[in-house]
Amino acid sequence: MDNNYDLTILGGGTGGYVAAIRASQFGLKVAIIEKGKLGGTCLHRGCIPSKSLLRSAEVYSHAKTMDSFGVSASDVTLDFSKVQERKEMIVNQLYQGVQYLMKKGQITVYNGTGKIVSPNAGASKSVILEVQKQNGEIVELISKNLIIATGSSPRDLPGLVTDEEFIINSDHALQLEQLPSSIAIIGGGVIGIEWASMLADFGVEVSVIETMDRILPQEDQEISKEVQRILKKKGIKVLTSAKVQDISKQDGEVEVSLDVKGKSKSLSSEKVLLSVGRKANIENIGLETTRIDVQKGVIQTNEFCQTSKPNVYAIGDVIGGLQLAHVASHEGLLAVEHITNNNPVPIDYSSIPKCVYSQPQVASVGLTEEEAVINGYSIKTGKFPFKAIGKALVYGEADGFAKVVIDNETNKLLGVHMVGPSVTDLISEAGLAKFLNATHLDLAHSIHPHPSLSEIFGEVALISDNIPIHM
């Protein structure tokens, strides 16, 4: 009976452990199966370690421009080993915190790999899972409910596989012991742009290769254009509409042959970083024993993250959509509240903020201008620059702007898009406004402290009606 659970979670990443905590709060007997460390990709190979490195890169970049603030410092140097030590310290501190939360919630953690061996056991039609622990021992669990939260892993390009030395992915890059002199990043999406910004700030010669006609293609076109302008100003070479034809290694370098808008080009660098998206981890977890619907490499679920088998749920990257840690967490909460019959409200994905932690930062929520038009809205837009915001000038970070997309008929916010200083924190106000179905006038009439970067919300709302105060 010790191996019988009300809920078992396959995967102890952000979505999985958050779901476990909520389930324990409802009094369920909970188990987590995790093959690596609790916290998963976000804590150990993604969100937290990469943002630690980005912060170090930002500080180093600022240190080299202190003269503009009237502060003189000579011989500013970078010790990359200490950068990595700081990253590991932060990750370990948070990891210890997650372990404490598991003990607090009396959640049983199985360190090993798990798979479904029988989707319908007994009268209750419980799920039977087989766990192969790290010591080789095999344990069988019986669970009334299952949440699949196995996450995702970096995707390779067809015919191009990482070798962890010359051709690497983001997992490998986090473990670099020393910085390369140059790097070519294949993929100009969120992860690629964050690494490009970080490495350039560390002094690495960076090239970005993107197959689409612009970097950050999921963002508003004006945002993408501004980010590309600022990155080029930082010395980053950006090649769009570029397709990789071949990669060869010679004399300690990697040569990438490209087709750029119909013209052949090549570039050489010490390393190549593959950043072409992520694939759901759905292999070897026993899905073939079930009738769970899988399409285009992701598990299909309803609005409560419930699969075609009623007592099996799936959350996070394995169901596609927005592959973000905060999305996985809320999907986990939603699934648990549905399991426990607590009448949850389905997630409004249009109100979820998205962030790019590069320098400049990028953040958005809701529809882009292009998406609003495609969806048939009659819209108006407003755009206000940070250079007209006093706090941005005080901080010495005045590049970028905020943009709003507004429904002409209702004045409700359809989307808010930002590029510039601290926008990954500022976007939460826009996310709340969107969640509450606010109008642009609600933003305009909210009183923001002066001086603050948040003043840009009032200004951008007013400029959409052509009545800005400071422009």
Catalytic (active-site) positions: 450
- Rounded distance, CA 168 to CA 179, Å? 13
Cis peptide preceding 360, ω within 30 of 0: yes
Give the H/E segment covering residue 144: strand 138-148
Phi, psi of 219 (to 5 degrees): -90, 170
Q: For residue 463, what are its two tokens?
A: 């400029």
234: closest CA among 204, 274, 190? 204
In the 8-state DSSP scheme, what is residue 276? S
CB atoms within 10 A of CB 266: 12
- d(C-alpha 16, C-alpha 34), whole Å: 9
H/E element, 10? strand 4-10
In the block, which residue shows the tokens 């570029």?
A: 242
Own/partner pairs for 63-72, CB < 8 Å, 24+ apart? 65/396, 68/396, 69/396
Tokens found for residue 55: 């912060």
Could you give the CA distance from residue 392 to residue 54 in angstroms, rounded to a whole number? 20
Altogether, the residues listed in the chain come to a count of 471
Chain CA centroid to CA 159, Å: 26
Place of tokens 């009976």: 1
Q: Which residues fall within 8 angstroms of residue 130, CB to CB, at 6 or more apart?
A: 114, 115, 117, 138, 139, 140, 141, 286
Evaluate whether 112 touches 281 at the Cβ level (below 8 Å): no
Q: What string of H, E and C letters represents the secondary structure of 136-201?
A: CCEEEEEEEEEEECCCEEECCECCECCCCCCEECHHHHCCCCCCCCEEEEECCCHHHHHHHHHHHH
